[in-house]
Amino acid sequence: MSTRIPGIVVGAALAVALPGPVRAATCTIKTGGASLVTHVPSAGDFVFPSVDERVLQVDVDSGTGTFTIRRDGIAPMDVGTQGGPVKLLLAAPPATGSIDAAGNVTVPGFAFTEIFAGQPLPGAPTISTTAYSTDLNGREFPGHGTPLDFTTGVLTLEGAVKLPNAPIVSEDVVSGLSITCQLAPVPDPSALPKAATLKGVGGVAKAGKAGKPDTLVLHATMVPGGVTPDFAGKDVLVGIRGSGDDDAVLLLVRGGTLRKKGRKLSVRDTDGMALKVLAGVKGGEDAPSPTSGTLSVASGKKSSKLNLRVQGLDLTALSGNLVVTLTVGPVASSANVAVSGSAKARRLH
C-alpha cells in the first residue's frame, strides 16, 4: 500500500532560472498545505491538514547540489483533526540536504514537533521526493514524494518516523510529514549535479493459470550520477506506476539484506520477508498470497545491472504507459516503459 499525504505548498512566484550557483527562494505555506499523517495500528490512519499560512526560505547551491530549508522564527501552525486542534511546530535550525539535475531532493533530519493532547511529539525524519517505507513492528508503511518540476517549480517531500508509545493510544505509531513545494525561483537543471539514470528497462508480466498469482520478471541498468548507489547498505525500492499517484507494484529490500555472491549482490526470498511486496500482491491486504522471488545486482565501474523475479503478484493493472522507478537510499532514477502482448504474457519495453 502506498500512502499519499497532502502537503505544504511553498513559493509565490512561478519558475525562473537561477543565474548564480547559490540563491535564496521565498517559500509560502498555503492554507491546507502542511499535513501530518499518523498510522495507528489499533485505530487506522489519520490525516491532519493545516489551516494557516507561513513563509519559509530555501537556499539552493547549484554548484554543489546543496538544498537548505530555513525555518527561523516560524510561528506554530494550527492543524485540524477529527478529535480537536493539533499544533505543528516547524521552527528549527536549518535542514540541509541535496538536489540533482532530475529534481530529486533529499533532506535528512528534518526536525518538527507535533503538539497532540498538550504533549510534544518530536520527530526528525528524512524527507525526500523519492520512495521510502517506515517499519512499524514488522509492518511497512510506504510512501513517496514527487521530484521537482523545473517548469512549474512544484515538488513534494515526504517522510515519516516511528513514534514509540504515543500518548492517548499508548502504542507505537508512525508519524509522517509531507511538504509540497512550489519553489521560486527554480534552479537551472543543467547547473545541478548529474542525476542517476535508468536504462535498458524490460521484462515480462506473466499471468497465473486459473486465477493463480502472477509473476513479474524485470531487468534494468542504473547509471550513476554524482552519487554512487550503495546497494549493499541502503534500502532498495523498485516501483511501477501507472497514471495515478500510487504504485501498482512496489518492492522493498532493506539495507544490508543483499549479500555478496561472487561479483554480484543478491537475495533469494521464499517467504516475503527479505523481498517485501508493499503494493501489487495478489489478494491485497485482506487475503495476501504468499510471495517469493530473487533480486540480483551486478555493479561495474560505470553501471549496475539489476535482475528481478517475483511471484505472488496481481499485475492486472499493468497496461499502457508506465513508469519504473529504482531507489537506492537517496539515489533515485526512473524510466518510461510501455506494455504490449497478450493477457498471458505482457511485455514491458
Give DSSP secondary structure letters for 99-119. E-TT--EEES---EEEEETTE
Residue 292: its H or E element: strand 292-299
| Cell numbers at 189, concatenated | 537543471
pLDDT in tens, 137-189: 999 999 999 899 999 998 889 999 999 988 888 999 999 998 887 889 999 99
Length of the chain: 349
CB 330 within 8 A of CB 98: yes
How many C-beta neighbours within 10 Å does residue 181 have?
28
52 contact partners, CB below 8 Å, separation of at least 6: 29, 31, 34, 75, 77, 78
pLDDT in tens, 309-321: 999 999 999 999 9
Nearest to 79 by CA among 51, 55, 54, 53: 51
Residue 9, pLDDT above cutoff 50:
no
CA–CA dist 342, 318 (Å, integer)? 12
Task: Give the span between the Cα atoms of 74 and 64, in whole angstroms.
Answer: 27
Cα-to-chain-centroid distance, residue 82: 27
**Do 304 and 265 touch, CB atoms closer than 8 A?**
no
Cβ–Cβ < 8 Å for 339, 205: yes
Read off the pLDDT band of 22 (50, 70, 90): confident
Among residues 170, 169, 166, 53, the alpha carbon closest in space to that of 115 is found at: 166
Average pLDDT over all residues of the chain: 88
Q: What is the CATH number of domain 22-191?
A: 2.40.128
118's CB contacts (< 8 A; 6+ apart) are none
What is the distance between the alpha carbons of residues 209 and 198, in angstroms, rounded to a whole number?
A: 32
Q: Counting Cβ atoms within 10 Å, is residue 340 exposed (0-12), middle (13-18) or buried (19+)?
A: exposed
Tens digit of pLDDT for each residue in 226-248?
999 999 999 999 999 987 778 99
The three cell numbers of residue 5 are: 499525504
Mean pLDDT of 252-271: 94
In this prediction, residue 11 carries a pLDDT of 39
Average pLDDT over residues 62-68: 93
DSSP code of residue 125: P
What is residue 84's predicted lDDT score, i.e. its pLDDT? 59
Distance CA 59, CA 253 (A): 33
Model confidence, pTM = 0.90
Residues 6 or more apart whose CB falls under 8 angstroms from that of 51 comprise 31, 32, 77, 78, 79, 80
Helix (H, G, I), strand (E, B) or coil at 288: coil
Domain ranges of the chain: 22-191, 197-348
Residue with cell 517469493: 292
